[in-house]
């Protein structure tokens, strides 16, 4: 496929990427917490220019997989690859420098700073890290639809939009791979629709996006591939329509209470963003 420069409304969001190229993959990743196997031989992949879904019931291991991929935790077995390179033993900051960015299920923003200041901090860190041109804060506020609340304290921003602030902050580093942990949780329907448009636009620019979400219509509408985790195992991988019709997936997840708007997410979501650490 053609090389595509990741440019979204003129933003140098990333490097030149091959659309469709596997940018991130895990190979046989196993993670244990004491005797508990949180991830069991997990192999998934995320391609440039696509949104890949990662779904499954509470406690299935989705956040643990993000932690392992970003270097917050080490697997007991298996490897993590970025653009084919084994990064399993790299420190988190080195993975970030190579173009990996994430958001957190429990928001980790600086609540005493404004939206703009949160992005400025991220820009400062990203600029010092890489030396490459990063998006301007004003461009990012515009792209993500946050310009009207740029000077509001994050503490005063409702959860739904605070999640977009976290996405914007992650994008300030000009990532190649973006990992989103329940980004639509706390968003209104209208916010989610706008957010879906943003993700489509980012993917069209070449970004590889991995989306953990309990909002199944969002996942099914956006993703080209969906991986389903249950008790730490991948029980299905494929196009959304195939995965959605899979009896094992229906039994483990779709047919249970773990559907949008149920206890699956509601208990986890803070009313407002909370400070990092
Ligand atoms: N630091 C930890 N120490 C011990 N056990 C942990 C730790 N982190 C996660 N676990 C356990 O690992 C399993 C996977 O948890 P994880 O948070 O990855 O699930 P999840 O799929 O993200 O769930 P949710 O949809 O509720 O966010 C759970 O059984 C959880 O209790
Ligand atoms: Mg989680």
Q: Domain extents for the chain? A: 20-266
Distance 61 CA to ligand 1 centre (A): 5
Q: Which atom of ligand 1 is nearest to the CA of 56?
A: 21
Distance 67 CA to ligand 2 centre (A): 10
Nearest protein CA to atom 12 of ligand 1, as residue: 38
Nearest protein CA to atom 26 of ligand 1, as residue: 58
- What is residue 129's predicted lDDT score, i.e. its pLDDT? 62
What φ, ψ does residue 203 adopt, rounded to 5°?
Answer: -65, -40
- What is residue 236's predicted lDDT score, i.e. its pLDDT? 98
Find all residues with CB under 8 Å of 184, minimum gap 6, and list them. Answer: 163, 191, 192, 195, 213, 215, 218
Nearest protein CA to atom 30 of ligand 1, as residue: 59
- What is residue 273's predicted lDDT score, i.e. its pLDDT? 33
Q: Which atom of ligand 1 is nearest to the CA of 105?
A: 27
Q: Which of 29, 63, 186 to mutate to test the pocket of ligand 1 (most atoms within 8 A of CB)?
A: 63
- What is residue 56's predicted lDDT score, i.e. its pLDDT? 97
- What is residue 132's predicted lDDT score, i.e. its pLDDT? 62
Per-residue pLDDT reduced to its tens digit, 57-84: 999 999 999 999 999 999 999 999 999 9
- What is residue 2's predicted lDDT score, i.e. its pLDDT? 35
pTM of this structure: 0.87
- Any bridge partners for residue 181, and if so which? 212
Reduced DSSP (H G I as helix, E B as strand, rest coil) percent helix, strand, coil of the chain, to 5: 35, 30, 35
**Residues with C-beta less than 6 Å from any ligand 1 atom:** 33, 36, 38, 56, 58-64, 105
- What is residue 257's predicted lDDT score, i.e. its pLDDT? 52
Residues of the chain with confidence (pLDDT) below 70: 1-19, 128-133, 256-277
- Hey, which CATH number is domain 20-266, 3.40.50.300, 3.40.50.620, 3.40.50.970, 3.90.1150.10? 3.40.50.300
- What is residue 256's predicted lDDT score, i.e. its pLDDT? 55
Rounded Cα distance between 46 and 155, Å, is 33
Which ligand is nearest the CA of 103, by number? 2
């Amino acid at each position: 496929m053609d090389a595509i420069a990741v440019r979204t409304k003129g933003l140098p969001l990333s490097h030149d990427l091959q659309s469709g190229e596997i940018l991130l993959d895990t190979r046989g990743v196993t993670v244990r917490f004491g005797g508990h196997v949180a991830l069991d031989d997990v192999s998934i992949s995320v391609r440039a220019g696509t949104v890949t879904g990662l779904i499954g019931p509470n406690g299935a291991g989705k956040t643990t997989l993000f932690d392992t991929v970003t270097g917050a935790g080490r697997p007991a077995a298996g490897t993590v690859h970025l653009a084919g390179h084994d990064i399993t033993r790299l420190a988190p900051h080195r993975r970030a420098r190579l173009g990996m960015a994430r958001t957190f299920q429990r928001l980790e923003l600086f609540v005493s700073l404004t939206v703009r200041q949160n992005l400025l901090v991220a820009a400062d860190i990203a600029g010092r890290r890489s030396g490459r041109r990063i998006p301007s804060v004003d461009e990012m506020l515009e792209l993500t639809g946050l310009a009207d609340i740029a000077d509001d304290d994050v503490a005063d921003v409702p959860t739904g939009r605070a999640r977009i602030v976290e996405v914007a902050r992650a994008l300030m580093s000009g990532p190649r791979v973006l990992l989103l942990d329940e980004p639509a949780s706390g968003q209104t329907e209208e916010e989610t629709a706008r957010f879906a448009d943003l993700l489509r636009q980012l993917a069209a620019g070449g970004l590889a996006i991995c989306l953990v979400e309990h909002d199944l219509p969002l996942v099914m509408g956006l993703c080209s591939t969906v991986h389903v985790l249950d008790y730490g195992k991948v029980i299905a991988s494929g196009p959304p329509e195939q995965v959605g019709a899979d009896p094992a997936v229906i039994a483990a997840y779709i047919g249970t209470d773990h559907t949008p708007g149920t206890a699956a997410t509601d208990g986890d979501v803070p009313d407002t963003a909370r400070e990092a650490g």
